[in-house]
Amino acid sequence: MIIVAGLDVGSLATKTVILDQEQRVMSYDISLTIGDSRGAAESSFRNALAKAGLKKDIVNYIVATGYGRNTIAFSDKEVTEITCHASGAHFIYPDTRTVLDIGGQDSKAIALGYNGEVVDFVMNDKCAAGTGRFIEVMAQALGVLLESMGDLSKKSLNPTVISSFCTVFAESEVVSLVAEGRDKIDIIRGIHEAIAERAVTLLNKIKMIEPVAMTGGVAKNKGVVVALENRLKLKISVPDEPQIVGALGAALIALRTFRKKFEPADIIKYL
């Protein structure tokens, strides 16, 4: 049996996916990074192994990706998150031609070819605006639970307009809106609309083609997904666990790489 792992070490969360030789997910884990990429990777990997009932020495190949991929001493290979998110999204949705990934600190729009190869991409990694961290800051400013924002957003009939994209300025704007007596539900909807507007700008830069899939932690926020769908006038595919798609892609690449390097040539199976 071949067993491989993919680790996606993000700025806010670290994800691990363990696959078997049939490309079946044996287990996965999501752990907070908390400023310690190496420690978070070790912890997440250990958790995933425990969930699968495996020991570390049985894992044949490990691919690391994400913000902290170069800090993981026990990985066999490092691959960019662009390639890994493309690989994971294509595996889940083979027809996908565009992937929008919004993570903790950056956003990516990725154009895929028919076979899932990366054709073009654009990243917003200079500012946290429109990312998971942006939403966290807004939730704190409003005094609401992060997990409740998606459902609250649906209740809004008169969304506010958030004019600032900068996280610091947007936070001040939100505080001012609360002081003016604006309904928090309408402010939340306005925040989601602002994130969607920024995401659409990224998608336009790569000439978005349908079908579109969304990955990353922000894809768990239904309010953001709905705002995007309304602006784009299309349905966006969201995996059951969008936060692990990069780690899944890394694990798929690990399996492909291991087979190519170590299996006899006559039984190599390309994914």
| Domain residue ranges of the chain, discontinuous segments joined by + | 1-93+241-271, 96-238
Question: C-alpha angle with apex 23: 219 to 101, nearest 5 degrees?
Answer: 20
Most confident of 89-93, 136-140, 164-168: 89-93
With a CB cutoff of 8 Å and minimum separation 6, the contacts of 194 are 130, 162, 165, 170
pLDDT of 65 > 80? The answer is yes
Q: Is the pLDDT of residue 76 over 90?
A: yes
pLDDT digits (tens, 9 = 90+) for 47-59: 999 999 999 999 9
Over the stretch 236-251, which tens digit does the pLDDT of each residue have? 999 999 999 999 999 9
| DSSP 8-state code for residue 242 | G
DSSP three-state, residue 259 = helix
pTM above 0.85, yes or no: yes
**Tokens at residue 37, please?**
């990429």
CB 228 within 8 A of CB 199: yes
Q: Are 153 and 223 in contact (CB under 8 A)?
A: yes
Interval 100-119 mean pLDDT: 93
- DSSP 8-state symbol, 105: S
Res 271: pLDDT:
47
Nearest to 136 by CA among 179, 109, 170: 170
Distance CA 226, CA 77 (A): 37
Tell me which architecture the domain covering 96-238 has in CATH. 2-Layer Sandwich (3.30)
Count the alpha carbons within 13 Å of 267 in the hemisphere toward its beta carbon: 5
Mean pLDDT of 135-151: 88
- Window from 22-36, 88-102, 126-140, 192-206 with minimum mean pLDDT: 126-140
Q: Is the pLDDT of residue 19 over 50?
A: yes
* Tokens 């800051």 -> residue: 137
Query: Which pLDDT value is given to residue 128?
Result: 67
Residue 252: count other Cβ atoms within 10 Å of its Cβ. Answer: 23
- CB within 8 A of 57, min separation 6: which ones? none
pLDDT of residue 264: 61
**CATH number given to 1-93+241-271:** 3.30.420.40
Please name every residue paired with 237 in a beta bridge, in sequence order, or none if there are none. 213
Q: Which residue has the tokens 């049985």?
A: 58
Residue type, 18: I
Top mean pLDDT of 50-54, 159-163, 259-263 is at: 50-54
Q: What token pair was written down for 254?
A: 């690990």
